[in-house]
């Protein structure tokens, strides 16, 4: 779901320097061995080539640092599952460009990328979760009550609109909806609950869980000595501190769903994922989907 930085600039309003929210170094190489994705060569791409402190923000991704300022960060991750369960090769390509999702616990290394290995199954579950949350958000925005009832009630028995994911464990979202179908008596009459309310509880709960370790912060170094002047008033720039790539991606998603800007679905039948509707005539999320849609005519 390619999104131009100009298309999502509104999501970064209030940040004097979006790149300061989160920087995530990318290792020189990654591999998959016995179903586990790990950094095969954990040295950062730019290490030894050029001092990262001398790089301009637009150079960071080129030199192997992924930042919150990349507007395609969350959507590129969700797009991995647009056609169903992603292959190991597509997962490895994404990881080689963006890095692994979480930081390795324990002391940080001054020389190596400190990223936790993750199983292919768990990585796919995170992709599926992102796809499901995007679709659920769109169902809520469109007031598609039939789709919400189908998801919550398990009527169609489908995990995803395009395919079944045979090698991927159940997501927390699926477990939540399953529990809603088999609720203990103390929860009251679940049949009387509104499907939109249940969907909102599920959506916000999942996002809050992914943002649990994100902290408020100040960006006092972007315009040293730290204050921006406007007449006689001074403002200290606000920011957030994201501990890993996954939390940075979900901070982007949080800003998207609380921004209330227009969104629409990609009209490529093989995709169908939401994207910001920045132009009235924009029907596809990217050029690839626009080209592939010709096969369905």
Q: What is the pLDDT of residue 218?
A: 80
Does 88 reside within a domain?
A: yes
Range of the domain at 209: 9-233+240-286
**Around 140, how many Cα atoms within 13 Å sit in the side-chain half-sphere?**
21
Q: What is the pLDDT of residue 222?
A: 58
Does 1 reside within a domain?
A: no
Q: What is the pLDDT of residue 89?
A: 96
Distance (Å, whole) CA 242 – CA 217: 10
Does 168 reside within a domain?
A: yes
Q: What is the pLDDT of residue 163?
A: 56
Q: How far is CA 79 from CA 83, 88, 90, 131, 168, in A?
A: 8, 15, 11, 8, 16
| pTM for the full predicted model | 0.77
Does 208 reside within a domain?
A: yes
Does 268 reside within a domain?
A: yes
Q: Which two tokens stand for residue 281?
A: 């005539």
Does 76 reside within a domain?
A: yes
Q: How far is CA 97 from CA 56, 69, 93, in A?
A: 19, 15, 6
pLDDT tens-digit profile of 166-175? Answer: 888 889 998 8
Does 291 reside within a domain?
A: no
Q: What is the pLDDT of residue 7?
A: 47
> Rounded to 10 degrees, what is the CA torsion of 266, 272, 277, 278?
-50
Q: What is the pLDDT of residue 11?
A: 57
173 within 8 A of 154, measured Cβ to Cβ: no
Q: What is the pLDDT of residue 162?
A: 45
Does 282 reside within a domain?
A: yes
- In the chain, the number of structural domains is 1
pLDDT under 50: residue ranges of the chain: 1-5, 7, 47-50, 161-162, 190, 192, 226
183 within 8 A of 190, measured Cβ to Cβ: yes
Q: Which two tokens stand for residue 26?
A: 């990318």
């Amino acid at each position: 779901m390619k999104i131009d930085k100009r298309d999502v600039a509104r999501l970064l309003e209030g940040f004097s320097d979006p790149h300061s929210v989160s920087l995530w170094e990318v290792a020189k190489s990654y591999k998959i061995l016995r179903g586990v994705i790990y950094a095969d060569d954990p040295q950062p791409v730019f290490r030894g080539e050029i001092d990262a402190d001398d790089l301009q923000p637009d150079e960071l991704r080129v030199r192997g640092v992924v930042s919150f300022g990349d507007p395609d960060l969350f959507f590129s991750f969700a797009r991995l599952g647009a056609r169903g369960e992603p292959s190991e090769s597509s997962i490895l390509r994404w990881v080689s460009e963006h890095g692994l999702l979480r930081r390795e616990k324990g002391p940080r290394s001054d020389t190596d990328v400190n990223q936790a290995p993750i199983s292919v199954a768990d990585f796919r579950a995170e992709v599926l979760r992102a796809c499901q949350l995007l679709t659920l958000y769109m169902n809520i925005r469109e007031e598609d009550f039939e789709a919400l009832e189908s998801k919550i009630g398990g009527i169609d028995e489908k995990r995803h609109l395009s395919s079944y994911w045979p090698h991927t464990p159940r997501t927390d979202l699926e477990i939540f909806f399953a529990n809603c179908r088999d609720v203990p008596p103390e929860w009251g009459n679940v049949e009387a609950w509104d499907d939109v309310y249940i969907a909102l509880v599920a959506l916000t709960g999942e996002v809050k869980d992914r943002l649990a370790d994100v902290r408020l912060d100040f960006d006092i170094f972007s315009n040293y000595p730290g204050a921006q002047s406007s007449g006689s008033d001074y403002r200290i720039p606000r920011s957030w501190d994201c501990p890993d790539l996954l939390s940075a991606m979900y901070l982007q998603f949080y800003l998207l769903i609380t921004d209330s800007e227009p969104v629409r679905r990609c009209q490529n039948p093989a995709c169908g994922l939401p994207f910001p509707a920045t132009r009235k005539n924009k029907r596809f999320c990217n050029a690839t989907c626009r080209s592939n849609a010709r096969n369905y005519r």
